[in-house]
Amino acid sequence: MIKPIAIHLPQFHPFAENDEWWGKGFTEWTNVSKARPLFEGHYQPHLPADLGFYDLRLEEARIAQINLAKEFGIHGFCYYHYWFNGKRLMEAPLDRMLANSKEDFPFMLCWANENWTRRWDGQEQQVLMKQDYSEQDDIDHIHFLINHFFKDPRYIRVDDKPFMAIYRPDLFPDITRTLAVWRQEAEKLGLPGLHLAYFQSFNNNLPPEDLGFDTAIEFQPSAKNKPEPEFSLVGKLYNKIGIKKVDFLNAIYSYSALVEKASANLQIKDNVFPGITPMWDNAARRKSGATIFKGSTPELYGNWLKNIITKYKGSKAKTKFVFINAWNEWAEGNHLEPCQKWGKQYLEATKKEFDNQ
């Protein structure tokens, strides 16, 4: 059975660091609600429908997400986990979920190990919270993960091993060493091992075993699947969609072309979990330098998902997950949660294809 896991962003609540960096009361909804269309036919802003502008500190909001995910066949959430040498960010929703047995839903973690920056890109400019790596931090971190998360009965496992992902393995000074330390410490603490994966994005497409991982996870939209842009300042492709402004510094792609290229490039491997995105548009976060895939529809998304599932059936892998990016990345225009334009249609398309496998 192929199961969908939806990537989940737990930033939808105020916390002290965001108050300091962006202003009192800032959440992801701040950027989302300010977004405006940048060209004719541009779908912005992305505004929530059924769940509203929720606060993930609230039990009611988290349970509403879980109930909706269950209704439409989502197997579990992959929560982003933020760790900076023992300092955590956005931890309140996850900690409250852990303490609440009513939130009965499978989950796993992905360490979002980039620098936290003012530009939202994980690079070195305007760093607000920096990642520093060391063997002692590797030990401290894995001990925390095991004691805080991995022993929870809701935690997703592969072959009885807790399933943990890393977002950017290329940022580590020696990722192979870090993973070896993690596995060693896990065994010391009585676990049968760890199932470790990384997100294939940013052109990180090495076989997982080359880096010491068990598996990889396709993170869509990936660089290898980007079609030619319909508009970019560098390419001066203004006329294709009628944009004339020289100061428009964003890149626009066709979602339909993304689906076509991703489907053509799809190679099912037993140690790579396929990925998909319902839509993508991070213009709400970026005044310039945004990546916009225009023209997404539930039908196009459903066709892409159907192609993945059809090919994935032939895999000999014992555990089969498809990672959906994302459940609620509203500021990246990237969400399964119902919006005011499409309602539940993306969730309905998801359930349809997994039910038909």
Residue 121: the pLDDT is 42
Strand partners, 170: none
Distance separating alpha carbons of residues 233 and 219, to the nearest angstrom: 26
Residue 247: the pLDDT is 44
Residue 41: the pLDDT is 86
Structural domains present in the chain:
2-224+271-283+316-343 (3.20.20.80)
* Residue 252 phi, psi dihedral angles, 5° rounding: -115, 130
Mean pLDDT by 10 residues, the chain (357 residues): 98 91 92 90 95 98 98 98 96 98 98 81 66 96 98 98 96 97 97 97 82 97 88 50 56 94 95 97 87 96 98 95 98 97 98 97
Residue 232: the pLDDT is 57
Distance separating alpha carbons of residues 283 and 42, to the nearest angstrom: 10
User: Is the C-alpha dihedral spanning 186, 111, 149, 333 positive or negative?
Assistant: negative
Distance separating alpha carbons of residues 184 and 177, to the nearest angstrom: 11
Residue 212: the pLDDT is 96
Placement of tokens 């929720």 in the chain: 54
Residue 143: the pLDDT is 98
- Paired tokens of 97: 């979920």
